[in-house]
Amino acid sequence: MPIEKADRADIPALVDLRLAYLREDRGGLDAGDAQAVADRLPAYFAAHLGKDLCCYIKREGSEIVSCAFLLTVEKPMSPAFPNGKTGVVLNVYTKRPFRRRGYAKRILEALIADAQAMDISPIELKATEAGYPLYRAVGFRDDDSPYRRMKWEKQSDDTNI
């Protein structure tokens, strides 16, 4: 079962897979949001694919049926990431008719092997309940960090803060 790395010719399929992932992950996707994602993603993939983004894929015939993205982030080194190279796994997705065949597991194993070869550590991800057992099976562990996860988001223009 060969796992490949996507290239520029795969960008339209990667856009479709990202949209399918987002629809499923969010329980739907507003038409305007879907269009914005579809409009912006090709340029993003063209700029990042093969540089700081590697997209691992499994094909059935000529169709890409499963994928996972590894975004490499370089930070100032620390004991938590000694060489500064860290990874974030995104968009682990398999089309419904192709699930339960081990594709996502094989993709993640290839992704982890490549990350190790590139001396990327740690590799992080956010796990859904459905994906949690898969991630545990390939070696991911709960993050017992003393830090609290937080984020900042731009407020809509009509919000008075």
Q: pLDDT by residue (tens digit) across 38-78?
A: 999 999 999 999 999 999 999 999 999 999 999 999 999 99
For the segment 19-36, the average pLDDT, to the nearest whole number, is: 93
- Which of 52-68 are b and which e, b meaning 16 or more Cβ less than 10 Å from the residue's Cβ? ebbbbbbbeeeebbbbb
Do 21 and 41 meet the contact criterion of CB atoms below 8 Å apart?
A: no
Q: pLDDT by residue (tens digit) across 80-133?
A: 889 999 999 999 999 999 999 999 999 999 999 999 999 999 999 999 999 999
Task: Delineate the domains of the chain, giving CATH numbers in brackets.
Answer: 4-137 (3.40.630.30)
Do 124 and 143 meet the contact criterion of CB atoms below 8 Å apart?
A: yes
pLDDT at 27: 87
pLDDT at 161: 46
Q: pTM here?
A: 0.90
pLDDT at 158: 58
For the segment 128-153, the average pLDDT, to the nearest whole number, is: 92
